[in-house]
Structure 1
Amino acid sequence: MKGRYYKLPMDFSQILQKKDMAAVTLEESVSQHIHLLITTVLGENKDDPDYGCEWWDRDFDIKASNNEVKEQIETAVKLAVTRYEKRLGQIRVVAAVNQEELMLAPVHKMKKKIRVTISGTLTKNNNSFQYSSYFYISPLSYD
């Protein structure tokens, strides 16, 4: 239905039971899509191999400095969001890269923590929008 946004992941059992699917606001829908977009590897979507974030091609580049990683992520995320999230305009992307120790029994691991903040304006109503999330790289994990 046009103008209605649905919660991800979708629960298709609701359709089979002839119930309404869970709806979300425009802001929540944009946030869900951005999360899906930036955690998808190029080529993972078989219908559109360009869908996703090209950053993941460089995830294991251990020679890259934190500043290089930050710039690469900002560029890749802005490109992906600009291309695939047309409900958002005036897009700005800021990334922060930090080392963080994870206490995973029985070992402790050091990982790079990436915090990504995306801000812009919703094209439908000109309201300001902000999305912020973080994930750990090499290999990818997120909370």
Structure 2
Amino acid sequence: MSEKFFNKPFRLNSVLSGAGLQATDLGKSISNHIELIIFTRYGEHRYHNNFGCEIWDLDFELIVSESIWEEKFRKSLLKSITDHEFRIYGTSVHIHITEVENVYPLRKITEIKKKVDISVRALIKTTGEKYFFNTALFLSPLST
């Protein structure tokens, strides 16, 4: 496996000017790959139909039980990370969904969104170091 990792997004103007791609460290490279898994819908990758996660199918699903929704998404993401991110092991995924209310007084609009907090914990294979990844997504704005 290559020991050189590149940052995303790729800056093609750097490549065309001869500067090359911006390098990054192993932890940031793993985080970039996990973000790519989260933001890719199943079937979107032409050569790997099982690359991605289920959040895009769950986003438009009526959430009857938040705990069931969280567990479906957690299992989907854990399976994708386990199947596609080979630089970590002992992976655990934690999902927590909350409602966030934004009030816009000038426009007299209240917007309610679902916020999904995602935490991934694992160990890096080459070093044995602990690896942590945290991010949050907002789903389905409901406005009044």
Normalised TM-score (structure 2) = 0.88
Which range moved further: 30-39 or 96-105? 96-105
| Alignment coverage as a number of residue pairs | 139
Which range moved further: 83-92 or 98-107? 98-107
Query: Shift of residue 103 of structure 1?
Result: 4.0
Specify whether residues 135 and 119 from structure 1 end up closer, same or farther in structure 2 by C-alpha distance, changes over 3 A only.
same
SS at match of 1:30: helix
| Partner residue, 2:65 | 65
Query: Shift of residue 66 of structure 1?
Result: 1.2
* Separation of aligned partners in 2, 1:138 and 1:49: 25
* Separation of aligned partners in 2, 1:54 and 1:100: 22
Which residue type is aligned with residue 11 of structure 2?
D
1:99 aligns with 2:111: no
Query: Structure 2: which 5+ residue stretches go unaligned?
Result: none
Which residue type is aligned with residue 65 of structure 1?
S
* Separation of aligned partners in 2, 1:102 and 1:33: 31
Normalised TM-score (structure 1) = 0.89
Q: Deviations over 1:13-51 (max 9, x none)?
A: 212111132111100000111011111111221222221
Query: Structure 1: which 5+ residue stretches go unaligned?
Result: none
Which range moved further: 42-51 or 79-88? 42-51
Which range moved further: 42-51 or 120-129? 42-51
| Partner residue, 2:83 | 83
1:110 aligns with 2:129: no
